């Protein structure tokens, strides 16, 4: 750093530090008398362990009660005792970002999970930032290839679009994300695994993502055993990293599994600080944090972040509060159907319940017409399937249903895809058009 630059930074360096003392620990929360701080600031708690070892734990200011500062730690609280020194930093959480992170697996603090040190040459960025100004967001007018026929053909996604993947447990969300990460033509993948089982993190990286996907990805993992604050920070850290690369002109693919566990973590924090439970036990802060997180992705003047957020729906109820709130914010939704999975159709995408709100704006009319025609045929078959299976439908009663019965196996075959198979978008659209023109003839 040049001397002139150093001189400019000298007035910004604080000449004193602000301290407080731990006076109470209740559940997940730590109460401190001081230091002077703001919501979101990081504080350092100086802990003396029983073995004489001195450690510094990080915590975040999440609220105030009279003159008491309410903190939530990023790690466990078993070593914290009354009287521990609390040092205020006056700054929110920052993480290091840069191209050298590509191919690495990080935690919510942006540190390598394998214990190695961070590469040199990284820059600091704040994890919680404001979404782009609505008037500075360029319209989405370019398609993004994800390499999955059912999506590229029937639910075409644009660069900068935000899509939700809605499904119950065990229907193939992680497998579908792995397919997209390996097959997409985006410049970079940023993958956030929030609230996953510890066993599943390595399995996803090695089996679903694979070496091919990892070498063009950055993975942020916050497992279910970690404190609620760490799970939330994992989502914000992943978004901040994606924003860094977007601001440098890249087309970034952000995948988060799952936004439901982010909401659950925020519910834990909200209840701990005294928020009243509202809809199905979720606190009001849950529904305020979701748009703040989800609106940060999309387009800006420099690049794009195309986002896929998985939503874990309880009991396959697509209208539960988090699913309903997320669906209203995003630009489309892909529904994975357990019934289709039980039939052996993978990916188990129900095209009748799924929609891409931008497909009509980014696809040519021939493509849109073919997709709508096949969707209608599939709807006619689905509507009459029970009658067909019990033999109550007589051939010739309806021309549309007769055609639907004839082409249903071809449509299902088009929607199926092996999880290791990559299908270019041009091929997906070409097959769709051929199928549509064949049906119309």
Report pLDDT for 10. 60
Q: With bands split at pLDDT 50, 70 and 90, how would you rate the model's confidence at 316?
A: low
* pLDDT tens digits, 17-73: 888 999 999 888 899 998 989 999 999 999 887 777 888 999 999 888 888 999 999
* pLDDT tens digits, 284-314: 999 999 999 999 999 999 999 999 999 988 7
Q: How far apart are CA 156 and CA 339, in angstroms?
A: 23
Average pLDDT along the chain: 89
Same domain, 38 and 143: no
Range of the domain at 406: 366-437
Same domain, 110 and 230: yes
Domain assignment of residue 129, yes or no: yes
Same domain, 300 and 201: yes
Same domain, 190 and 267: yes
Same domain, 118 and 142: yes
Residue that wins the pLDDT comparison between 441 and 91: 91
Report pLDDT for 207. 87
Domain assignment of residue 429, yes or no: yes
Positive or negative CA dihedral for 171, 177, 179, 180? positive
**Final residue in a domain of this structure, among 92, 125, 141:** 92
Report pLDDT for 1. 44
Positive or negative CA dihedral for 412, 414, 419, 425? negative
Same domain, 307 and 431: no
Same domain, 386 and 344: no
CA angle at residue 58 from 53 to 60, to 5 degrees? Answer: 150
Q: What is the CATH number of the domain that holds 338?
A: 3.40.50.12240
Q: Is residue 427 pLDDT above 80, yes or no?
A: yes
Domain assignment of residue 406, yes or no: yes
**Final residue in a domain of this structure, among 363, 380, 408:** 363
Same domain, 220 and 99: yes
Please enumerate in sequence order all residues whose Cβ is within 8 A of that of 167, keeping only pairs 6 or more positions apart, or say none: 173, 310, 311, 312, 313, 316, 335, 336, 337, 338, 348
Q: With bands split at pLDDT 50, 70 and 90, how would you rate the model's confidence at 115?
A: confident
Q: What is the CATH number of the domain that holds 417?
A: 1.20.1270.330
Domain assignment of residue 1, yes or no: no
Domain assignment of residue 172, yes or no: yes
Domain assignment of residue 13, yes or no: no
**What is the DSSP code (8-state) at residue 316?**
G
Q: With bands split at pLDDT 50, 70 and 90, how would you rate the model's confidence at 80?
A: confident
Instruction: Domain count for the chain, please give it.
Output: 3
The three-class DSSP label of residue 215 is coil
Domain assignment of residue 3, yes or no: no
Same domain, 109 and 244: yes
Domain assignment of residue 12, yes or no: no
Same domain, 99 and 228: yes
Same domain, 147 and 251: yes
Positive or negative CA dihedral for 219, 223, 226, 229? positive
Q: What is the CATH number of the domain that holds 56?
A: 2.40.10.170
Of 216-220, 342-346, 378-382, 436-440, which one has max mean pLDDT? 216-220
The reported pTM is 0.91
Same domain, 66 and 199: no
């Amino acid at each position: 750093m040049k001397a002139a630059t150093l001189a400019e930074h000298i007035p910004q360096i604080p000449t004193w530090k602000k301290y407080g003392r731990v006076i109470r620990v209740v559940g997940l929360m730590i109460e401190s008398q001081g230091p002077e701080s703001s919501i979101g600031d990081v504080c350092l708690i100086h802990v003396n362990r029983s073995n004489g070892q001195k450690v510094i734990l990080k915590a975040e200011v999440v609220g105030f009660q009279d003159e008491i500062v309410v903190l939530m730690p990023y790690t466990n609280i078993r070593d914290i005792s009354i009287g521990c020194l609390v040092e205020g930093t006056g700054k929110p959480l920052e993480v290091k970002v840069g191209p050298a992170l590509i191919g690495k697996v990080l935690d919510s603090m942006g540190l390598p999970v394998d214990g190695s040190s961070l590469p040199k040459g990284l820059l600091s960025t704040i994890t919680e930032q404001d979404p782009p100004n609505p008037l500075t967001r360029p319209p989405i007018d370019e398609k993004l290839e994800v390499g999955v026929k059912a999506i590229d053909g029937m639910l075409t996604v644009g660069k900068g679009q935000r899509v939700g993947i809605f499904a119950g447990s065990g229907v193939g969300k992680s497998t579908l994300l792995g397919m997209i990460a390996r097959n997409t033509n985006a410049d970079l993948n940023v993958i956030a695994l929030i609230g996953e089982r510890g066993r599943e993190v390595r399995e996803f990286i090695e089996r679903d993502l694979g070496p091919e996907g990892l070498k063009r990805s950055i993975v942020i993992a916050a497992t279910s055993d970690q404190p609620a604050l760490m799970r939330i920070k994992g989502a914000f850290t992943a978004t901040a990293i994606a924003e860094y690369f977007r601001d440098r002109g890249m087309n970034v693919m952000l995948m988060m599994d799952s936004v439901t566990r982010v909401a659950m973590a925020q519910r834990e924090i909200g209840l701990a600080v005294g928020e009243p439970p509202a809809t199905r036990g979720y606190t009001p802060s849950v529904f305020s944090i979701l748009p703040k997180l989800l609106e940060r992705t999309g387009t800006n003047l420099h690049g794009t972040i195309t986002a896929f957020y998985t939503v874990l729906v309880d009991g396959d109820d697509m209208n539960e509060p988090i699913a309903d709130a997320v669906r209203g914010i995003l630009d489309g939704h892909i529904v994975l159907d357990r019934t289709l999975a039980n039939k052996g159709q993978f990916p188990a995408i129900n095209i009748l319940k799924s929609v891409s709100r931008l497909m009509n704006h980014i696809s040519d009319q021939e493509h849109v017409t073919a997709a709508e025609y096949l969707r209608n045929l599939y709807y006619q078959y689905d509507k009459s399937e029970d009658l067909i299976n019990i033999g109550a439908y007589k051939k010739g009663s309806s021309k549309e249903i007769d055609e639907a019965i004839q082409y249903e196996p071809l449509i299902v075959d088009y929607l199926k895809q092996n999880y290791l198979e990559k299908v270019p978008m041009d091929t997906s659209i070409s097959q769709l058009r051929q199928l549509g023109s064949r049906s119309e003839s």
